[in-house]
Structure 1
Amino acid sequence: MNILYTMSSLKNVFYIQAGLGVLANMFLLFFYISKILGDRTKPMDLISCQLAFIHIMMILSEGDNLLANILESLKLGNDIKCKTTFYINRVMRGLSVCITCLLSVFQAVTISPSTSLLAQFKNKVKRHIIYAFFYFWSFNLSFSSRLIFYVAGFTNVSETHQMQVTKSCSLFPMNHIIRELMLTVIISRDVFLVGVMLTTSTYMVIILCRHQRQCKHLHNISHLRASPEKRATQTILLLVVFFVFMYWLDFIITFTSIMSWMYGPIVLSVQKLVMYAYPTITPLVQITSDKRIISILKNVYSKFH
């Protein structure tokens, strides 16, 4: 009885979290699309637009969510539904790490002073950002395609040694060489990208703190406390630390479950909450830190009051 109550509570929390995440990311997606279609397109808007789209698809493709229900209504079969949603979800999870890393690198290059080594890459990064998108999408689409052969509709037959990963989907056992090879590639990718994110974010914090100390002689203390540099530093630290913590917590749960070949219903529910905390929190942080969005929200609020 306690397990059923816990499952029901976790499920309700996840639906609230997923709904909030989809709405916030859709708002950002439409906002950035309107900016991209405008006269001046900023590379940062292109990155943020992709990240919002990725997070929407990531949330919708989880388990028996909206995308699964749409595929089921088309009567494509449980097996096709599971392969499609599982594949899209894995691709989007990989892209979330890649694009977040790209966002961190681009920010570091953008705010770097003209005397630094990174300054010479400012124009190059802007010109080659489309190639980076193409590479990230190609890599994740091709790499995750191998998982299609190991996921199928859950048949509840214990003899096949299936591992249930959602209500209606399961994984079949992999050859230990293939499993270790895939885990090695995933771990290497994540360690590298998270390492780059931490390095660039630390660099940005150092630059902003140095700029803040230089401005200390020109501004009084009360103005300094509310300086844009300090707010930017706090935003960077919040996003990076939160991303790294949540991503590796999700990875530990997934890795432990795959190695032990056991997924309990409570473990699945907790993993969902952990996995989708970042795509839910990220748009909220972006909305509250973007002056253009804040200005739009203020204008809308003033019209209704």
Structure 2
Amino acid sequence: MSPKAFMSSVLENVLYIQAGLGVLANMFLLFFYSFTILGHRPKPMDLMSSQLTFIHIMMLLTGADFWLTDIFESLNIENYIKCKATFYIHRVLRSLSICITCLLSVFQAVTISPRSSLLANFKHKLKKYMIYAFLCIWSLNLSFHSNLIFYVGGFTNVSETNQMKVTESCVVFPMNYIIRGLFFTVTTSRDVFLVAVMLTTSAYMVIILFRHQRQCKHLHSISHLRASPEKKATQTILLLVFFFVVIYWVDFIMSSTSFLVWMYDPVVLTIQKFVMNAYPTITPLVHISSDKRIINLLKILQLKCY
């Protein structure tokens, strides 16, 4: 086995371990949000977090590509259909992840905004139109990536220098330079806009938290010095946005380079998958470690075990 093949094999094993950890953490979080939503009046934050958790479970499963392959093979489905479905599903889920994360950031910024600010007028409107926002996000992303179905297919033994492999068995067919540039520009512009919105709302939340902390220093009551649930939720969202922005730009540079250079490298592809799966793996761990309800539940379970 060549050093490159050995490195690729090691990285794939690490990728499976990462995906397994992420799926388990997200499954736990999804069950928790499901019981919370069914048992009580659902909060908008719980509804968004449960959707994000479900999206991340699907991202990890399709990104690792170990369950769709078995399903398609058991159903005797052709390889080109498997490639089209897997590529399309993963692209849609990736877009949904950035949209829901952006919506979380905007919602939290509006939630903690002071009454004197302009954003305070949108607090009740956000809760009212939350379902419409979800329907709009899902509809736009499902339709936006539908054209990818025509440019992805199964790998054949025919030597085609203008085809780029995206996995061992799937390729992206050659695109017109205008279509490729247009699709790249539209996708990049959308992602940059959403990331800019996240950074803007994050900066706004940091300013509000700083002002609140400075005001609390002038108070002598201990109750005011304790971290409120809103403050903890805001810190969680800020941490998630920070992780997302860092991971997004690393993934963007790697994927853009491969897309523009039109080059396939199994080691680079595996590293790119590892980077893409980092955010779905980190997100549930951040939620679990910062949500007081989950921490109390884990403490109760621990006491019952002893």
* TM-score, normalised via structure 2 length: 0.94
> Residue in 2 aligned with 1:205?
206
Alpha-carbon distance change, 159 to 67 in structure 1, aligned in 2, over 3 angstroms: closer
How far 1:114 moved relative to its partner?
A: 1.1
Q: CA deviation at 1:188?
A: 0.9
Whether the aligned pair in 1 keeps the contact of 2:12 and 2:270 (CA below 8 Å) is yes
Corresponding position of 1:136: 137
Aligned-partner residue type, residue 78 of structure 2: G
* Equivalence for 2:117: 116
2:42 is the alignment partner of 1:41: yes
CA contact 2:15–2:64 (8 Å) conserved in 1? no
Find out whether 1:79 has 2:80 as its counterpart: yes
**Equivalent residues in 2 for 1:185-224, closer than 5 Å:** 185-219=186-220
Report the equivalent of 2:70.
Answer: 69
Name which structure has the greater RCO, CA cutoff 8 Å, separation 6+: 2
- Counterpart in the other structure of 1:127: 128
Tell me the alpha carbon deviations over residues 133-191 of structure 1, each in whole angstroms, 9 at most, x when there is no partner. Answer: 11111111001110000111111322263211012111111111111111111011101
Count of residues paired in the alignment: 303
The residue aligned with 2:53 is 52
Deviation at 1:80, TM superposition (A): 1.1
The amino acid that maps onto 1:290 is D
Correspondence for 1:152? 153
Partners of 2:131 and 2:27 in 1: how far apart?
22
| Cα RMSD (Å) | 1.8
Alignment correspondent of 2:24: 23
* Number of the residue aligned with 1:93: 94
Q: Which moved more, 1:37-46 or 1:267-276?
A: 37-46
Deviation per residue, 1:184-225 (Å, 9 max, x gap): 11011101100000011111111111111111122589x95x
Deviations 1:79-128 (A, max 9, x none): 11111111100000000000000000011111111111111000000011
Give how far 1:15 is off.
0.7
- In structure 2, relative to structure 1, the CA distance for the partners of 1:230 and 1:51 (3 Å cut) is closer
Deviation at 1:232, TM superposition (A): 5.2
Cα contact 2:88–2:149 (8 A) shared by 1: yes
Partner Cα distance (1:63, 1:18) in 2: 7
The match for 2:282 is 281
Secondary structure at the aligned position of 2:171 is classed as: strand
- Distance in 2 (CA, whole Å) between partners of 1:142 and 1:65 is 26
Take 1:142 and 1:2, find their aligned partners in 2: how far apart are those partners? Answer: 42
Structure 2 runs not aligned, ≥5 long: none
List structure 1 runs of 4+ shifted beyond 3 angstroms.
226-237
AA matched with 2:13 = N
Aligned-pair CA distance for 1:39? 3.0
Moved more, 198-207 or 58-67: 58-67
Q: Distance in 2 between matches of 1:64 and 1:39?
A: 36
Deviation at 1:68, TM superposition (A): 2.5
Amino acid at match of 2:190: R
Give the C-alpha shift of residue 31 in structure 1: 1.1
2:164–2:171: 8 Å Cα contact kept in structure 1? yes
Shift of residue 67 of structure 1? 2.1
Is the contact made by 1:90 and 1:144 (CA closer than 8 Å) also made in structure 2? Answer: yes
Against the structure 1 CA distance between its residues 149 and 63, is the aligned structure 2 distance closer, same or farther, given a 3 Å change threshold? farther
Percent identity between the two aligned chains: 68
Structure 1 partner of 2:305? 304
Instruction: Provide the secondary structure at the position in 2 that maps to 1:61.
Output: helix
CA distance in 2, matches of 1:304, 1:279: 29
Residue type of the partner of 1:23? L
> Residue type of the partner of 2:181?
E
Residue number in structure 2 paired with 1:183: 184
